[in-house]
Amino acid sequence: MKTNTISTTPYTDQKPGTSGLRKKVTEFQQPNYLENFVQSIFNVATELTGQLLILGGDGRYYNDHAIQIILKIAAANGIQQVMVGENGLLSTPAVSCLIRKYKAAGGIILSASHNPGGPDGDFGIKFNIANGGPAPTSFTDATYEISRSIGEYHIAEADDVALDRQHTCYIGDMQIDVIDSVSDYAELMEQLFDFVKIKSLFKAGLLSMCFDAMHAVTGPYAKVIFEKILSATDGTVINGIPLQDFGGGHPDPNLAHAEELVAKLNAGPGSPGFGAASDGDGDRNMIIGQNFFVNPSDSLAIMAANAHLLPGYKDGIRGVARSLPTSRAVDMVAESLGIDCYETPTGWKYFGNLLDDRRITLCGEESFGSGSDHIREKDGIWAVLFWLNLIAVKEKPVEDITRAHWLRFGRHYYTRHDYEAIDSDVANELIQNLRSLTTSLIGTEHAGYKVKLSDDFSYTDPVDLSVTENQGIRIIFEDESRIVFRLSGTGTEGATLRIYIERYVADPELHDMPTQTALAKLIDVANAISGIKTRCNRDQPDVIT
Ligand code: G1P
Ligand code: ZN
């Protein structure tokens, strides 16, 4: 094998965000931009030398190109073996599953998750460590440091590898296995859930389902698992063919972007009883019933309350964790189960230590993400199977299961308002202003809500004692209502301000209000305290979930 060492000049903007390095495709297309970052990863992840690496992505534009480059850089950096998904496809949870199953030293996932794709869209690259989870901040910080001063990268001279079929080949001594993207993951799912029971529901025609793969990576997974193994009718999976630009759509499973699915579920008599969708790289999920939406925070709480009914969790759960902005619905369940509930910063990487240390079994985020200790990523298809299994056990539709939960635990009304593409300076000033207000807010009253606590959230990891500061301004009121403000760490244009608003209502008589109505007063309070309208000249959020 001939290896070339290429001189390069560093870029100064390769700082990974909430979930890896995410940039416009056009930025990745700058000379050596991808190569620099990949070499920086290999420079930090010295544990990969002589070991196995898992490689794949969500199929978006630039996926194939990046895979070929990474294979050649991997060979030149002494990687012994790489497993690549057929057609370059691997969902984020599948990569996590493969790393753990085959004891790989790490994995590289090519995805910008739910961000749009195509030549004018976004691309991304993230590294997962040997436990299957996202690399911790210490790793991403080290990569960033190296990328700022990198002077050369190593790359093998070799032909491109055929990705369109399963086979084994070599670049020099490095073995490359192009593998079935789905089978190992499907096998893991079969160990966790009662496939026989779910299958009998579909076979007897007792349940019909629609799964929207949004032309992203879960198409092949959903077709095999739902239609082939579980016998859901052909056509259950819509938008099941992965496309480089996701069909021009925004592969984010929420009520705004999964329009086709929502329309199908709300079409009246004959419409499917259960609906679900996943995002670009398959780690997010949305669960809906007929004319009924399950808020992701509620979904996590419902999972925690019912996990013991499913085979993979029959001995009960050890503990739970949620990110700061996720509603406290799961806290109520943890309290009643007598288990620990951890509050972490935003981003899946903060759950890794808690899972590895066996402190928690389930975890989730308000941003349509939930998962368990089966892997170290959030997992879209897993969440859908969890709900399917629950429906099969309870013999009740999504809405009834959710309402019964509210009746038992009370309801946490919850919304997130996103203001996108704000000028970064303006957004930073807004947050700084809120930070300076926190102490003086305590004890003050706003539209009848008295502030009990206000601070900028800081997290001390109970396992490695690392401290992560400035993770979001929170205002907690005496009745347990909360407002949280933070800036997104995944955007690629200006800043995105996220305002999370939550209100707890125990009285079942009050469980039928439209969410935005139930939260109207608190929304006004959030807008007034932050000064969003005057500071950013915005009247309405761009996205409400
Ligand atoms: C967003 C979500 C966060 C999630 C991340 C990756 O990050 O809010 O919960 O972990 O995407 O999917 P943000 O843009 O808010 O930093
Ligand atoms: Zn994702």
- Protein residue whose Cα sits closest to atom 15 of ligand 1: 488
The answer to whether 82 and 52 have CB atoms below 8 angstroms apart is yes
**Do 224 and 289 share a domain, yes or no?**
yes
Which two tokens mark 192? Answer: 């966790």
**Do 398 and 426 share a domain, yes or no?**
no
Mean pLDDT across 4-30: 95
pLDDT over threshold 80, residue 493: no
532 Cα: distance to centroid of ligand 2 (angstroms): 28
With a 6 A CB cut-off, is 488 part of the ligand 1 pocket? yes
With a 6 A CB cut-off, is 113 part of the ligand 1 pocket? yes
Burial zone of 148 (CB within 10 Å; 0-12 exposed, 13-18 middle, 19+ buried)? middle
- pLDDT, tens digit, for every residue of 291-342? 999 999 999 999 999 999 999 999 999 999 999 999 999 999 999 999 999 9
User: Are β-strands 21-24 and 445-446 bridged in parallel, bridged antiparallel, or unpaired?
Assistant: unpaired
- pLDDT, tens digit, for every residue of 143-180? 999 999 999 999 999 999 999 999 999 999 999 999 99
- pLDDT, tens digit, for every residue of 471-487? 999 999 999 999 999 99
Which two tokens mark 180? Answer: 């079935």
Label residue 494 by pLDDT band (50, 70, 90). Answer: confident
With a 6 A CB cut-off, is 290 part of the ligand 1 pocket? no
With a 6 A CB cut-off, is 454 part of the ligand 1 pocket? no
Helices (H), 294-397: 296-306, 329-337, 352-356, 380-394
In this structure, the number of other CB atoms found within 10 A of the CB of residue 205 comes to: 8
Q: What is the pLDDT of residue 489?
A: 82
**Do 455 and 533 share a domain, yes or no?**
yes
399 Cα: distance to centroid of ligand 1 (angstroms): 27
Mean pLDDT across 435-448: 93
pLDDT over threshold 80, residue 282: yes
Q: What is the pLDDT of residue 535?
A: 87
Label residue 17 by pLDDT band (50, 70, 90). Answer: confident
**Do 318 and 459 share a domain, yes or no?**
no
- pLDDT, tens digit, for every residue of 235-276? 999 999 999 999 999 999 998 899 999 999 999 988 999 999
**Do 197 and 117 share a domain, yes or no?**
no
- Protein residue whose Cα sits closest to atom 4 of ligand 1: 347
**Do 268 and 345 share a domain, yes or no?**
yes
Domain end point (choices 393, 409, 425)? 409
- Paired with 129 in beta bridges are 106
**Do 177 and 273 share a domain, yes or no?**
no
544 Cα: distance to centroid of ligand 2 (angstroms): 18
Domain of residue 536, CATH code: 3.30.310.50
Q: Please report which ligand is nearest the Cα atom of 18.
A: 1
In the chain, the number of structural domains is 3
pLDDT over threshold 80, residue 490: no
Residue 91 annotated to the active site: no
The answer to whether 329 and 412 have CB atoms below 8 angstroms apart is yes
Domain of residue 126, CATH code: 3.40.120.10
Nearest CA to 338 among 371, 373, 366, 305?
305
**Do 395 and 491 share a domain, yes or no?**
no
Which atom number of ligand 1 is nearest to the Cα of residue 347? 10
**Do 194 and 152 share a domain, yes or no?**
no
Which domain, by its residues, includes 361?
A: 185-409
27's CB contacts (< 8 A; 6+ apart) are: 13, 33
Q: What is the pLDDT of residue 266?
A: 94
448 Cα: distance to centroid of ligand 1 (angstroms): 31
Q: What is the pLDDT of residue 539?
A: 85
Q: What share of the chain has pLDDT > 70, as a percent?
A: 100
Tell me which of 19, 96, 113, 530 is the catalytic residue. Answer: 113
Q: What is the pLDDT of residue 256?
A: 87
With a 6 A CB cut-off, is 172 part of the ligand 1 pocket? no
With a 6 A CB cut-off, is 63 part of the ligand 1 pocket? no
**Do 428 and 370 share a domain, yes or no?**
no
**Do 330 and 476 share a domain, yes or no?**
no
The 8-class DSSP code of residue 346 comes to S
Domain end point (choices 346, 378, 409)? 409
**Do 16 and 91 share a domain, yes or no?**
yes
Domain end point (choices 379, 409, 439)? 409
